[in-house]
Amino acid sequence: MAIVFFKSSTPSPDRKEYLAMIHARSEFTFTVHAPLAAAFPLFGPEGERPWAGPDWDPQFLYPIPARDVEGAVFRIRRGHRDALWVNTVFDIQAGHAAYVSVIDKKIATRVDVQLTAIDPQTTSVHVMYERTSLDASAEAEVGEMARTDPQMGREWKKSISDCLARG
């Protein structure tokens, strides 16, 4: 687990004051008891549906019909939150998926997922989140997300294990 915070100031284009923004990075790693070829599809927006819970309901803008492909664009709405996601990498051969999202026009997020075969039946999953506040009102939330992101490793491992056990 790694958590790194950066705070920078940038000039506001229409004012002479400076806007302070938070940038945070967090990481976690866990193992999945499945071959890489079986584990990788679980990290696409459609592939997450069986394990990510009822709040994970991607509404695809591209492609239609929905498919887990590089370049996919989709929206996730959770309560009052609205996030626009773009799948920037979806490389099954390399075991690499990456996403960029913007939540409520206030938080930009980059997610990088790297899967590596440990042996024919076990896969290591490394997840990295980078978040940047786009609005001063989101600074505390970005910091809190960075502190809690690493806990998702245990949750994801259990949810994925349960999903794989269901078949």
Q: What does DSSP assign to residue 150?
A: G
Q: Which CATH class is domain 2-140?
A: alpha beta
pLDDT per residue rounded down to tens, the chain (167 residues): 455 555 555 555 554 444 558 999 999 999 999 999 999 999 999 999 999 999 999 999 999 999 999 999 999 999 889 999 999 999 999 999 999 999 999 999 999 999 999 999 999 999 999 999 999 899 999 999 999 999 999 999 999 999 999 98
Q: d(Cα 90, Cα 69) in Å, to the nearest integer?
A: 6
CB 109 within 8 A of CB 103: yes
* Residue 92, C-beta contacts closer than 8 angstroms, at least 6 positions apart: 37, 40, 41
The full set of domain ranges for the chain reads 2-140
Q: d(Cα 145, Cα 133) in Å, to the nearest integer?
A: 11
**Three-state secondary-structure class, residue 42:** helix
